[in-house]
Amino acid sequence: MADAAWTSFEAWLAERRFEHPPLRLAEFAETGRGLMATEDLEVGDAVVKVPARLLLTQQRTTRLFGGSKAIAGLKQHASISLFLAWHAALGYSEWAPYIDTASKQRRNMEADHASVQDALATVDSEPLSAALSLAPSTTGLQERAQALITKNLFVWAWLVVNTRCITLNTDASAAQSLLDKQPRIALAPFLDCLNHTPISRIQAGLDRADRAYVIRTLVAYPKGSQVFINYGPHDNAFLLSEYGFVVSENPYNHVCLDAEMDCILQRMPSAKSILVAEDYTVSRDDIGYRFLNAMRLMVAASRTDDRGLLMLVPSWRKILNGETSHMSEDLEALVITNVQRLLQE
């Protein structure tokens, strides 16, 4: 995003009476572009307040197409993507200053990464095409949309929504009169310029009094530092596929051992029939709860026959219930040895 684009975007916000906290765009060595505090921020301070009138929701798309039931029937992600793609295709749209802030979004995605390719494979433009063909033809808007919105443009818009959207009803009490109980997503101009860090702590949700989506920081920021938000406890594989970036020293990074465990369990049908089939993980600082307890059962199974294993299962379940920490000291020592061997392989 060029400085001129940011200046245009800030002017666009000012025209819409959007007053943001003391933050400004800056370049940071670790993250690239982000928002910097221009004065000290204390715990409880509002980082951003996006007025409800500026939130880009599914309802905007429906209104754009004259209340079409076919358009209203689109899923939220596709609907907001359609709105974004339509205004991007026009070029001279009132939303252009905001769209320009996301114009290079796809270029920043690691599109060759397998997990990103998997995510892009889920982008289906067929429901969009069908909805546009069914929309009322009173203004010719849907014909123009079909002509202007290419699959590549729609994929770009889909990625922007996927990487920038927020969930509106994160706080049920604050959102009760504004939203139903289903998750509702939206794009929130300016807010989506904030970067993620796993150590940030925030409070976010719709504020009925302010009629705005408000994020408050639960950690202090000195003047001149980058202000962050937190997308949740995600590892780097998830962050890359969903948002297009990774975080150094991510405490939520882990290794999935499902394939290795399945290979072992193929030789132990009695244990396999008791255990679940997935989510065996280890991280830098922790052995996954499910992985460790599966190893306990597998080690026990390797030292007895099927009948003996059935007799040991009640003792194993006591570990799951928190009644004891291990089945026996000898077995626990073998478990640790086998875990270390598996991880070294």
- Mean pLDDT (the chain) is 80
Shortest CA distance to 163 belongs to which of 208, 199, 111? Answer: 111
pLDDT at 275 over 60: yes
How would residue 129 be classed by pLDDT, with cut points 50, 70 and 90? low
- Domains in the chain (CATH in brackets) are 3-243 (3.90.1410.10), 254-344 (no CATH)
Q: Are 12 and 98 within 8 A, CB to CB? A: yes
pLDDT at 323 over 50: yes
Q: What is the pLDDT of residues 3-40, one digit of tens each?
A: 788 888 989 998 998 887 789 888 898 888 899 999 99
Region class of 171: left (phi > 0), else alpha (psi between -120 and 50), else beta: beta
Higher pLDDT, 344 or 76: 76
Q: What is the pLDDT of residues 97-110, one digit of tens each?
A: 999 887 655 444 44
Q: What is the pLDDT of residues 87-98, one digit of tens each?
A: 888 877 899 999
pTM > 0.75: yes or no = no
The mean pLDDT of 283-294, rounded to a whole number, is: 80
Q: Which range has the worst mean pLDDT, 45-49, 225-229, 319-323?
A: 319-323
Q: What is the pLDDT of residues 40-57, one digit of tens each?
A: 999 999 999 999 999 999
Higher pLDDT, 163 or 170: 163
- At 127 the pLDDT is 58
pLDDT at 138 over 60: no
The mean pLDDT of 194-210, rounded to a whole number, is: 90
How would residue 223 be classed by pLDDT, with cut points 50, 70 and 90? very high
Shortest CA distance to 5 belongs to which of 28, 29, 33? Answer: 33
pLDDT at 239 over 60: yes
Q: What is the pLDDT of residues 327-338, one digit of tens each?
A: 888 888 888 888
The mean pLDDT of 113-121, rounded to a whole number, is: 48
Higher pLDDT, 282 or 46: 46
- At 170 the pLDDT is 57
CA distances, 81 to each of 63, 68, 88, 145, 193 (Å): 14, 16, 10, 12, 18
pLDDT at 257 over 50: yes
- Say how far apart CA 345 and CA 341 lie, in whole Å: 6
pLDDT at 302 over 70: yes
Residues of the chain above pLDDT 90, percent: 20
